[in-house]
Amino acid sequence: MATETILQHWLFTDFVFPFLLIFLICFAILEKTKVLGDNKQLDALLSFVLGLIFVGAVFPKMVVGNLILFLTVSLVVVFVVLLIWGFIAGEEGLKFGDSSKGLKWVIGIAIVLAVVVLLFSVTGIFPGVFDFLFHQSWSEGFWTNFLFIIVIAGAIALVLKSSK
């Protein structure tokens, strides 16, 4: 059984955190752009009022809350992809001669696909996606044709590359 912490209380999640988020973003933008001049008190007062108005509106608060959740998950996913790339490529990068550019693309695509599959697996979406892609009446013909097209495109690429 999960216990609720003080930071998960409805007072914080519905009012304090959204107010602080909007207040700080508005204040930072007003300070950086100097729209109202160098008057920090005026910037703070306007940010305070905008934060209070924002907290009073339900729908924008829900939209921003969902965007922040999406942003945090996206940042973690991008961090994981870059961390794996850093482990593979290292500080110097991949050095495999002239073909390293193509190899970098292949490894990068493999990393992104691995992270997407892992994300689907962790969120519980993977069984539904797997069933949709591979256990439908159309899936056998689709994947056969897809692999056939990939093989043909690879052969054409090899022929064109060797003719140069």
Give the separation between CA 29 and CA 53, rounded to whole angstroms.
Answer: 17
Which pLDDT tens digits describe the chain residue by residue (164 residues)?
Answer: 567 888 888 888 889 999 999 999 999 999 999 998 899 999 999 999 999 999 998 898 889 888 988 999 899 999 998 898 888 777 666 666 655 667 777 888 888 898 888 888 888 887 888 888 888 888 888 989 999 999 999 999 888 887 76
Task: Of 103, 62, 45, 108, give the one whose Cα is nearest residue 82.
Answer: 108
C-alpha distances in Å from residue 163, one per residue of 93, 95, 101, 155, 159: 29, 25, 19, 12, 6
Give the separation between CA 106 and CA 114, rounded to whole angstroms.
Answer: 12
- The residues spanned by each domain of the chain are 130-164
Provide the token pair at 107. 């490894």
- Residue 97 per-residue DSSP state: G
Packed helices 58-89 and 17-33: angle between N→C axes, nearest 10 degrees? 70
Q: How crowded is residue 21: how many other Cβ atoms within 10 Å of its Cβ?
A: 17
What is the reported pTM?
A: 0.61
